[in-house]
C-alpha cells in the first residue's frame, strides 16, 4: 500500500519542479525580452536622433539650395539686364551710325547736285600744272599734281577727310585769288585816275593813245589772270560762261606777260605751293591718326560684339545650368519629401510597435503577477496535498510498522490511510491539472515569446534597413552638397570674372563714347567749316565770274579801241540788230540810238548817261564805257554791277 502512494507522490513533485523551472525560464525570458526592448528603445532613440540630424541636414541643404537658386536667378536677372542695356546702347550706336551715314549720303548728294567741291580739284590740278610749267627752269622735278579730292568713298571718315581737304584747298585757292582781285581793283582805280588826268591834259587823240598805252599793262595782267580763270572755269563744271576767242594781239600780249613775269611772282607761287604741301602733309597725318582711331573704334566694336556673343552664350549656358539645377533641386525636394514620408512612416510604425509592446508588457506583467499568485496558492495547496505537514515518505518507509491488535483499530487505520490516499490522489490530480495548465501557459508564453522575438527581429531588420537607406541617402546628399559647393565656387569665380570683364567693357564703352563725342564734335566743326567754306566758295565764284566778265569786257573794249583807227566808226541803224550794251534785240518799241562819243548803236536804257560837250555845253547821250572815260568824277561802270558778257 505504501508504494503506490509513493509513486503518486513523486510525479506530483516532478511536475511542480518542472512548473517552477518553466516559470523561472519564463521570468528569465521576460527579463531578457525587457532588456532587448530597452536596447531596441535605445536603438530607436538613436535612429530617431540620426533621422532628426538627417532632417536638419536636409533642411540646411534645402535652404542652401534655395539660396543658391535665388542667387543664380538674381545673377541671371542682372546678366539679362546688363545684356538688354548693352543691346539698347548698341542700338543707339547703330542709330547714330545710320544717322551719320545718312548725313554723309546727304552731303554726297549735295556734292553731286551742286558740284562745287569738284571744281577745286580741277582748279588745283590746273594751278599745279601752271606752276610746274613756270618753275620748270628752276626745279629739276616738278611737284606732282594732287590726287583727285572727291572719290567714291563709303565711310564717314573718308568723306570727312575729303571734305576737309576740299575746304583747305578752297581756302588756299580763294585767299590768293581775292588778294589778286583786290590788287587788280586797285590797279584799275589807279589807271582810271591816270586816264582822267591824261584826258584833262591832252587832246582827244592823245587821250585815246594815252588811254590805250596806260590800259595795256593792267589789261595784259587781267588778260593773263582771266586766261587762267577761263582755263579753270572751263575745266570746272560750275562755269557757264563761254571763253572769248583771243586775238593775235592778246596772244602776243600774254606771251610778253609770261616772258616778262617777275621772279617775285614765282617765289610767291613757290611759297604758296610749299604752304599747300605743308598743309597737305599735316592733313594727311591727321587723316592717318583719324584712320587709326577709326580702326581702334572698329576693333572695339568687334570686341564688343564678340563680348556680347560670349555673354549670350554664357547666358544660354546659365539658363541650361539653371534648368539643370532646378531639376536637381526638384529631385532633391522629392527625395527629401519621400525621406520625410518614410521617416514619418517609420516613426508611426515605431510608435505603434512601442505602444503594442508596452501594452503587451503590461499584459505580461499582469499575467506574471497573476501567475505568481496562482503559483503561490498552488504551492501552498501542493504542500498541503503532498503532506508537507505530514510525515515524509522516507520517514514512513523507515518508520516501524506497528499494526494495532484490535480489528477496530485496524479498520480505523485502514480508513485513515484510505482517506490519506484519497486526499493524495485528489492533490495529485489537481497538481497534474495545474501542471498541465501551467505547461500550456508556458507553451503559450514560449510561442508568444518566439513571436515577439521574431517580430522584434523583423523590426530590428527593418530599422537597420531604414538606417542603412538613410545613411546611403545622407552620403549621397553629402556628395551632392559638396558637388553643389564646388559648382557654386566655380560659378562665383565665373561671376567675378564676368564682373571684371563687364567693368572692362564699361570702361571701353566709356572710351568709345568719349571718342564718339570727339568725332561728333569734329564732324560738327568740319560741317560748320564746310558751310563757311561753301559760302566763301560761292562768294569767290561770284567774284571770279564778275572778274571774268570784267576782263572780257575790258579786252573787248581794248580791242575795239585798238581797231577803231583802222575802220569806219559809224554804224548804220539797219546794220545793227541788238544793243551793244545789254545785248537785247531791237524791236519796234525799242529805238536805236547812237552814242555821241563812240558812235555805236545802243538802246535807250544803255544811253542813260549824259555828258556836256562843245562850247555850248550841250548834253550828249553816251554809253557806260564812254561815260567812264569822259566823266572823271564818277566811279567806273563796273564798280557796282558786273558788265554784260559779250559774245
What would the pLDDT profile of 331-353 be if each residue is shown by its tens digit? 877 877 887 788 788 778 878 88
Reply yes or no on whether the pLDDT at 453 is more than 70. Answer: yes
Question: How far apart are alpha carbons 215 and 557 in whole angstroms?
Answer: 10
Segment among 160-174, 292-306, 410-424, 496-510 with least mean pLDDT: 160-174
**What does the DSSP 8-state code read for residue 405?**
S
Task: In whole angstroms, give the CA distance from residue 432 to residue 423.
Answer: 14
The fold for domain 568-636 equals: Herpes Virus-1 (3.30.40)
Reported as a pLDDT band with limits 50, 70 and 90, residue 644 is: low
Region 546-573: what's the mean pLDDT? Answer: 75
At 386, is the secondary structure helix, strand, or coil?
coil
Average pLDDT score over residue span 625-637: 80
pLDDT of residue 1: 41
- CA dihedral over 200, 201, 204, 209, signed as positive or negative: negative
CA 584 centroid distance within chain: 70
Q: What is the pLDDT of residue 228?
A: 42
Query: What phi and psi values does residue 151 have, to the nearest 5 degrees?
Result: -125, 160
Phi, psi of 578 (to 5 degrees): -145, 160
Range with lowest mean pLDDT among 260-274, 351-365, 453-467: 260-274
Burial class from Cβ neighbours inside 10 Å (0-12, 13-18, 19+) for residue 448 reads middle
Task: Confirm if 580 and 600 have CB atoms less than 8 A apart.
Answer: yes
User: For 485-494, what is each residue's pLDDT tens digit?
Assistant: 888 888 888 8
Neighbours of 379 (CB within 10 A): 15
pLDDT at 399: 65
Mean pLDDT of 522-547: 83
Q: pTM above 0.75? A: no
Burial 620-631 (b: 16+ CB within 10 A, else e): bbbbbbbbbbbb
Whether residue 285 is predicted with pLDDT greater than 50 in this model: the reply is yes
What's the pLDDT tens digit per position in 313-326?
A: 877 887 787 788 77
CB within 8 Å of 135: residues ≥ 6 apart:
142, 266, 269, 270
SS (H, E, C) 412-466: HHHHHHHHHHHHHHHHHHHHHHHHHHHHHHHHHHHHHHHHHHHHHHHHHHHHHHH
- As a whole-number percent, the residues of the chain with pLDDT over 90 amount to 0
Rounded to the nearest integer, the mean pLDDT of the chain is 71
Write out pLDDT tens, residues 212-270: 444 444 443 444 444 444 343 444 433 333 343 444 333 443 443 334 344 444 444 46
Residue 569 scores a pLDDT above 70: yes
Record the cell numbers describing residue 162, joined without a space: 575729303
For residue 2, is pLDDT > 70? no
143 vs 225, 263, 277, 480, CA distance in Å? 22, 19, 9, 81
In 3D space, the residue among 386, 343, 357 whose CA is nearest the CA of residue 5 turns out to be 386
State the Cα–Cα distance between residues 528 and 534, nearest whole angstrom: 10
Domain ranges of the chain: 107-307+511-567, 568-636
The yes-or-no verdict on residue 117 having pLDDT over 50 is: no
For residue 431, give Cα distances in angstroms to 21, 423, 594.
15, 12, 185
Amino acid at each position: 500500500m505504501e508504494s503506490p502512494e509513493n509513486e503518486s507522490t513523486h510525479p506530483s513533485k516532478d511536475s511542480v519542479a518542472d512548473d517552477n523551472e518553466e516559470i523561472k525560464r519564463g521570468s528569465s525570458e521576460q527579463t531578457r525580452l525587457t532588456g532587448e526592448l530597452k536596447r531596441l528603445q535605445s536603438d530607436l532613440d538613436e535612429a530617431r536622433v540620426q533621422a532628426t540630424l538627417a532632417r536638419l541636414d536636409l533642411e540646411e541643404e534645402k535652404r542652401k539650395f534655395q539660396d543658391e537658386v535665388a542667387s543664380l536667378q538674381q545673377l541671371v536677372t542682372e546678366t539679362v539686364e546688363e545684356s538688354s542695356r548693352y543691346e539698347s546702347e548698341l542700338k543707339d550706336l547703330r542709330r547714330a551710325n545710320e544717322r551719320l551715314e545718312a548725313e554723309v549720303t546727304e552731303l554726297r548728294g549735295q556734292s553731286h547736285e551742286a558740284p562745287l567741291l569738284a571744281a577745286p580739284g580741277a582748279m588745283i590740278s590746273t594751278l599745279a600744272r601752271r606752276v610746274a610749267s613756270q618753275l620748270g627752269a628752276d626745279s629739276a622735278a616738278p611737284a606732282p599734281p594732287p590726287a583727285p579730292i572727291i572719290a567714291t568713298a563709303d565711310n564717314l571718315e573718308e568723306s570727312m577727310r575729303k571734305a576737309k581737304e576740299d575746304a583747305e584747298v578752297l581756302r588756299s585757292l580763294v585767299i590768293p585769288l581775292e588778294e589778286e582781285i583786290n590788287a587788280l581793283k586797285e590797279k584799275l582805280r589807279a589807271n582810271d585816275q591816270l586816264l582822267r588826268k591824261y584826258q584833262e591834259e591832252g587832246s582827244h587823240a592823245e587821250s585815246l593813245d594815252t588811254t590805250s598805252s596806260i590800259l595795256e599793262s593792267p589789261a595784259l595782267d587781267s588778260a593773263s589772270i582771266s586766261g587762267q580763270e577761263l582755263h579753270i572755269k572751263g575745266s570746272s563744271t560750275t562755269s557757264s560762261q563761254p571763253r572769248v576767242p583771243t586775238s593775235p594781239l592778246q596772244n602776243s600780249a600774254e606771251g610778253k606777260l609770261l616772258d616778262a613775269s617777275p621772279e617775285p611772282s614765282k617765289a610767291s607761287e613757290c611759297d604758296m605751293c610749299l604752304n599747300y604741301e605743308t598743309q597737305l602733309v599735316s592733313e594727311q597725318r591727321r587723316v592717318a591718326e583719324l584712320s587709326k582711331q577709326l580702326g581702334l573704334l572698329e576693333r572695339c566694336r568687334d570686341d564688343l560684339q564678340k563680348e556680347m556673343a560670349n555673354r549670350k552664350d554664357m547666358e544660354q549656358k546659365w539658363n541650361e545650368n539653371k534648368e539643370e539645377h532646378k531639376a536637381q533641386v526638384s529631385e532633391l525636394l522629392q527625395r527629401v519629401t519621400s525621406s520625410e514620408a518614410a521617416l514619418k512612416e517609420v516613426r508611426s510604425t515605431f510608435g505603434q510597435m512601442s505602444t503594442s509592446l508596452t501594452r503587451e508588457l503590461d499584459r505580461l506583467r499582469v499575467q506574471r503577477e497573476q501567475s505568481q499568485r496562482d503559483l503561490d496558492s498552488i504551492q501552498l495547496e501542493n504542500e498541503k496535498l503532498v503532506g508537507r505537514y505530514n510525515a515524509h515518505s522516507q520517514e514512513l518507509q523507515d518508520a516501524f510498522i506497528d499494526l494495532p491488535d484490535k480489528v477496530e483499530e485496524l479498520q480505523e487505520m485502514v480508513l485513515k490511510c484510505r482517506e490519506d490516499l484519497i486526499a493524495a490522489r485528489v492533490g495529485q490530480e489537481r497538481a497534474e491539472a495545474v501542471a498541465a495548465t501551467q505547461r500550456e501557459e508556458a507553451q503559450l508564453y514560449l510561442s508568444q515569446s518566439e513571436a515577439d522575438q521574431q517580430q522584434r527581429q523583423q523590426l530590428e531588420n527593418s530599422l537597420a534597413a531604414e538606417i542603412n537607406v538613410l545613411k546611403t541617402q545622407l552620403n549621397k546628399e553629402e556628395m551632392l552638397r559638396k558637388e553643389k559647393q564646388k559648382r557654386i565656387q566655380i560659378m562665383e569665380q565665373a561671376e567675378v570674372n564676368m564682373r571684371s570683364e563687364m567693368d572692362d567693357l564699361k570702361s571701353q564703352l566709356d572710351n568709345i563714347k568719349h571718342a564718339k563725342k570727339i568725332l561728333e564734335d569734329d564732324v560738327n566743326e568740319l560741317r560748320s567749316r564746310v558751310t563757311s567754306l561753301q559760302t566763301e566758295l560761292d562768294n569767290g565764284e561770284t567774284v571770279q565770274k564778275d572778274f571774268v566778265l570784267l576782263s572780257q569786257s575790258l579786252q573787248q573794249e581794248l580791242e575795239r579801241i585798238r581797231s577803231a583807227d583802222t575802220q569806219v566808226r559809224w554804224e548804220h541803224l539797219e546794220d545793227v540788230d541788238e544793243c551793244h550794251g545789254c545785248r537785247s534785240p531791237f524791236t519796234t518799241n525799242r529805238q536805236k540810238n547812237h552814242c555821241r562819243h563812240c558812235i555805236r548803236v545802243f538802246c535807250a536804257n544803255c544811253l542813260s548817261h549824259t555828258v556836256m560837250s562843245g562850247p555850248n555845253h550841250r548834253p550828249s547821250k553816251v554809253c557806260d564805257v564812254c561815260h567812264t572815260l569822259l566823266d572823271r568824277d564818277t566811279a567806273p561802270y563796273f564798280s557796282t554791277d558786273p558788265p554784260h558778257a559779250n559774245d
